[in-house]
Amino acid sequence: MRTPFVTMVLGLAMLIGAVAPGSAHHGWAWTTGNNIELFGIVTEARLGNPHGVLKVDAEGDVWTVEVGQPWRNARAGLKEGDLAVGKEIRFIGQPSANLEDRILKAEKIYIGGRLYDLYPNRD
C-alpha cells in the first residue's frame, strides 16, 4: 500500500514529465543568446497563444519567426494586419542555437521604418 506522500511524489513526477516536453522550447534557453537581423516577406502568419509564429522568406531561405503573445504584440503597438502575409518586415532577435533550424525569437520588429519593441526592458 502506498503512503499519501509516495502517491503525491509519483503524481508530481508524472505531471512534470507531461509538461516538460511541451514547454522545453519556450523561454530563451534554445537561442544563441545573441541578436541577428533578419529581413524578409511574411509568407504565413499564425497569431495567438502561446505566441505568434510567422514564416518569413528571407532571400529564398524560409525562417520561422516567433513573435509575442497577443498581449505583448498589442503592448508593443502592433495592430491587426501589421504581421500579415505579404508584409516586408525587419526583425532583430535571437536565432536558434542550431542556425540550420532557421528559427528566430523576435525582440524588435520594424515595419515601414517604425519600431515595435516586444521586449523593451531586455536591453
* Residue 66 confidence (pLDDT): 96
* Residue 38 confidence (pLDDT): 98
* Residue 1 confidence (pLDDT): 54
* Residue 29 confidence (pLDDT): 83
* Residue 68 confidence (pLDDT): 93
- N-term to C-term CA, the chain: 55
* Residue 17 confidence (pLDDT): 46
Per-domain residue ranges of the chain: 36-117
- 36-117 fold: OB fold (Dihydrolipoamide Acetyltransferase, E2P) (2.40.50)
* Residue 4 confidence (pLDDT): 59
Q: Long-range pairs for 106-112 at CB < 8 Å and ≥24 separation?
A: 106/65, 106/66, 106/67, 106/68, 107/35, 109/67, 109/76, 109/78, 109/83, 111/82, 111/87
* Residue 26 confidence (pLDDT): 55
What tens-digit pLDDT sequence spans the chain (123 residues)?
A: 556 554 444 444 454 444 444 444 457 688 888 999 999 999 999 999 999 999 999 999 999 999 999 999 999 999 989 999 999 999 999 999 998 999 999 999 999 999 999 999 866
